[in-house]
């Protein structure tokens, strides 16, 4: 109170002086501090969390002291002559946005990390470290109110099971965040509209998540490694994809299907998988990625009304696209489609760029668009916005940990079948800078024998 009186007297004494509007606002509306800790300070943090934080912090700067920390360990890359320059640039970029990057290999910074009283922890490091990071967060001296795990609960189902054993059933502290789930944040009324448009009966569901990203891909950004060929190699994503695209890409599908189908009713009917070849100028050299770089999964399931439906999910890197979807999905096909028993279709264009991207289309049986529903073009900003504003329900863009465990179990079924039939995981010709184009999805499907299903 005394400080406010002094400030008001200063205004009276010096009326001609310009008063800082932010200072006045801070007196009129006291800020509260909201501290978020992100586990991981790599490419995902740089590309998505950093820009989203800058945007959200500016939006709330008058009423919220929104503070973001990122924690990582430079011992994993400092002696790697190729990774070290990129990581140093990443950390410098994050710091330029006002983010505090804590290096766990530095004793003073590790002490700050251990004692940080974060309101929220976001686990955004590699999938194999997810469950441990959640357990560590729960055991912090000042445990966070909420923990979000990026994508899958963990790459290892057994490790995830151990974590589940430590959590109370359906607890409200640990949540699974997926940015495609945040891109399609339909409320109950919008879900009802979609279901009614499909006649209350889903006949089929199809998910495409296919990226070319090869040296022959004309849409590649300038930031790629131009010295290499290969969809993962050229983007330096070999380590991320080593566990296979089922874990990395198909994990986006099930959180989206959940609003329209019952995940626990899914029964697999066919699984296919392959790896691409054509790396570093050698048309027959296999990718450095150990796991599959293409997979398809066909299944049956029950929609929310109990009707039996068919489903299919196609995911891959080094795939040119889907010929049947048309030229707008060349090199980059990210689409979720539902077909109703009445012939109507609902298409969710999950791409972030391009004509028609980030939009849902309700198309009648004659092929005419009847309605459009805008999707979230900047899902990470939506996510951080809900975290920053304590009055918002950030769980709208996330799933409970039990639901994410169900997703992981489904992924594990697919991964185990691929591992069982590893000798049948063929190589397909990926696109090369020398002029060889990557195959379309239809060509791959015709080429590959099923690992599960009718042979």
Kindly state whether residue 297 falls inside one of the protein's structural domains.
Answer: yes
| Domain assignment of residue 363, yes or no | yes
In this prediction, residues 299-328 reach a mean pLDDT of 97
pLDDT for 214 equals: 94
Runs of H (alpha helix) within 291-392 = 379-388
Query: Which tokens go with 397?
Result: 């863009």
In this structure, the chain runs to a length of: 455
In a domain, 224, yes or no: yes
pLDDT surpasses 60 at 2: no
* Residue 133 shares a structural domain with residue 191: no
142 and 215 fall within a common domain = no
Residues 98 and 122 in one domain: yes
Looking at the fold, whether 89 and 211 belong to one and the same domain comes out as no
Torsional sign, CA 115, 121, 124, 130: positive
Q: Considering its fold, how many domains does the chain have in total?
A: 3
- pLDDT, tens digit (0-9, with 9 covering 90-100), for 55-72: 999 999 888 999 999 999
Mean pLDDT of 266-275: 97
Could you tell me if 119 and 145 are in contact, meaning their C-beta atoms sit under 8 angstroms apart?
yes
User: What CATH code is carried by the domain that includes residue 263?
Assistant: 3.30.360.10
What range defines the domain where residue 433 resides? 184-378+394-447
Query: Is 413 within the bounds of a domain?
Result: yes
Instruction: Indicate whether 323 belongs to any domain.
Output: yes
Q: Which of 358, 349, 397, 354 is nearest to 377 (CA)?
A: 358
The CATH code of the domain that includes 102 is: 3.40.50.720
Asked if residue 209 and residue 110 are part of one domain, the reply reads no
Radius of gyration of the chain (CA): 24
> Would the pLDDT of 18 be above 70?
no
Would 151 be classed as within a structural domain?
Answer: yes
- Shared-domain flag, residues 188 and 206: yes
Q: Among the residues of 143-224, which ranges form H helices?
A: 157-166, 179-183, 188-197
**Pairing label, strands 174-177, 202-211:** unpaired
Looking at the domain assignment, is residue 170 inside a domain? Answer: yes
Mean of pLDDT over the chain: 90
pLDDT of residue 455: 61
pLDDT, tens digit (0-9, with 9 covering 90-100), for 382-419? 999 999 987 777 777 888 899 899 999 999 999 999 99
pLDDT, one tens digit per residue, over 154-202 is 999 999 999 999 999 988 899 999 999 999 988 889 999 999 999 999 9
The tens digit of pLDDT for each residue in 23-47 reads: 444 444 557 899 999 999 998 999 9
Of 428, 430, 427, 447, nearest in space to 216 by CA? 430
Residues 221 and 364 in one domain: yes
Q: Where among 180, 208, 226 does a domain terminate?
A: 180
Please report the pLDDT score of residue 151 as a whole number.
Answer: 86
Query: What pLDDT shows up at residue 1?
Result: 41
- One domain for residues 195 and 251: yes
Chain segment 205-252, per-residue pLDDT in tens = 999 999 999 999 988 888 788 889 999 999 889 988 999 999 999 999
Over pLDDT 90: what percentage of the chain? Answer: 80
282 and 426 both lie in a single domain: yes
Query: Helices 379-388 and 50-59: crossing angle, nearest 10°?
Result: 50
Write down the pLDDT at residue 82: 82
Instruction: Please check whether residues 199 and 342 belong to one and the same domain.
Output: yes
**Mean pLDDT along residues 116-141:** 95
Domain closes at, from 159, 180, 201: 180
Is residue 168 located within the same domain as residue 194?
no
Look at residue 30 in the predicted model and tell me its pLDDT. 54
Pairing verdict, β 146-150 and 174-177: parallel
> Which two structure tokens, joined as six digits, stand for 301?
């399931």
Nearby residues of 196 by Cβ (< 8 Å), 6 or more positions away: none
Q: Are 7 and 17 in contact (CB under 8 A)?
A: no
List the structure tokens of 218: 């004309």
Same domain, 149 and 130: yes
Residue 389 lies in a domain: no
The values of phi and psi at residue 202, to 5°, are -80, 125
Note the pLDDT of residue 22: 45
């Amino acid at each position: 109170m005394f400080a406010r009186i002094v400030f008001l007297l200063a205004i009276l004494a010096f009326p001609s002086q310009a008063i800082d509007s932010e200072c006045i606002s801070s007196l009129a509306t006291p800020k509260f501090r909201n501290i978020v800790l992100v586990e991981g300070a790599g490419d995902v943090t740089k590309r998505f969390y950093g820009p989203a934080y800058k945007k959200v912090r500016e939006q709330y700067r008058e009423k919220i002291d929104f503070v973001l920390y990122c924690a990582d360990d430079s011992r994993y890359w400092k002696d790697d002559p190729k990774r070290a320059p990129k990581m140093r640039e990443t950390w410098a970029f994050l710091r330029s946005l006002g983010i505090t990057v804590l290096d766990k290999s530095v004793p003073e910074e590790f002490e700050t990390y251990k004692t940080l009283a974060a309101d929220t922890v976001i686990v955004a490091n590699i999938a194999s470290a997810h469950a441990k990071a959640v357990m560590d967060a729960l055991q912090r001296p000042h445990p966070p109110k909420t923990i979000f795990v990026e994508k899958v609960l963990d790459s290892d189902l057994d490790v995830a099971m151990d974590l589940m054993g430590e959590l109370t059933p359906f607890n409200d502290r640990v949540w699974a965040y997926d940015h495609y789930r945040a891109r399609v944040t339909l409320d109950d009324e919008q879900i009802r509209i979609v279901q009614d448009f499909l006649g209350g009966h889903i006949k089929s569901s199809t998910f495409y998540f296919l990226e070319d990203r090869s040296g022959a891909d004309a849409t590649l950004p300038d930031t790629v490694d131009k010295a290499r060929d290969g969809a993962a190699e050229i983007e330096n994503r070999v380590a991320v994809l080593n566990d296979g695209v089922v874990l990395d890409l198909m994990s986006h599908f099930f959180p989206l299907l959940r609003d329209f189908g019952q995940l626990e009713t899914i029964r697999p009917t066919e699984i296919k998988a392959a790896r691409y070849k054509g790396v570093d100028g050698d048309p027959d050299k296999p990718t450095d990625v150990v796991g599959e770089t293409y997979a398809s999964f066909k299944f049956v399931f029950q929609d929310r009304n109990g009707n039996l439906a068919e489903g299919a999910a196609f995911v891959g890197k080094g795939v040119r696209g889907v010929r049947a979807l048309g030229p707008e999905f060349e090199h980059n096909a990210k689409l979720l489609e539902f077909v109703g028993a009445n012939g109507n279709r609902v298409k969710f264009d999950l791409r972030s760029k391009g004509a028609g991207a980030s939009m849902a289309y309700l198309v009648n049986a004659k092929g005419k668009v009847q309605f459009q529903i805008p999707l979230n073009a900047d899902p990470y900003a939506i996510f951080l916005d809900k975290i920053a504003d304590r009055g918002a329900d950030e769980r709208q863009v996330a799933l409970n940990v039990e639901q994410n465990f169900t997703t992981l179990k489904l992924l594990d079924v697919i991964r185990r079948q691929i591992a069982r039939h590893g000798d049948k995981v063929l190589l397909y010709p990926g696109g090369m800078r020398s002029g060889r184009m990557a195959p379309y999805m239809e060509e791959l499907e015709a080429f590959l024998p099923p690992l599960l299903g009718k042979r």
